[in-house]
Amino acid sequence: MKKILFVCVENAGRSQMAEAFAKKYGAAKVVVSSAGNKPANKVNAVVVEVMKEKGIDLSKNTPKMITAKMALNVDLIVTMGCNDQGVCPGPFFKPTIEWHLEDPKGKPIEKVREIRDEIERQVMELITELKE
């Protein structure tokens, strides 16, 4: 099984959604986790709300700080915006994919739904690619 680490700045939105979708769609194929380089205190409330619409509960999740050990113990790192801030450790450790996704922080719920749906699409595509 492939091990994937999803990383965004605060681990409060994009990477949390990606981890949840990867667990949903790739349960038998991947082991996933997520982290951030400047973790927030809690998962974005609007993200929790839009994920509930998909039947996924993130309300008990807590943002985590990325560590070198986390990065070294995976096969692939998927970054989402932390490179924009110049503080993403991914490329120094493992093969890395950058998903250019808008940060849902401070966005209206309609925009967060669009970001969620794009993350879901990209996760499904990634899981399919890993099978082949």
For the chain, the domains span 2-131
Q: Does domain 2-131 have CATH number 3.40.50.2300?
A: yes
Q: In what order do the strands lie in the sheet with 96-98?
A: 30-36, 2-8, 76-79, 96-98
| Cβ neighbours, 10 Å, residue 49 | 14
Name beta bridge partners: 2: 30
* Whole-structure pTM value: 0.92
What distance in Å separates the CA atoms of residue 74 and residue 71, rounded to the nearest whole number? 6
* Helix, strand, or coil (residue 40): coil
What distance in Å separates the CA atoms of residue 47 and residue 36, rounded to the nearest whole number? 16
From first to last of its 132 residues, the chain has per-residue pLDDT tens of: 899 999 998 999 999 999 999 999 998 889 999 999 889 999 999 999 999 999 999 999 999 999 889 988 999 999 987 655 555 655 556 688 889 899 999 999 999 999 999 999 999 999 999 865
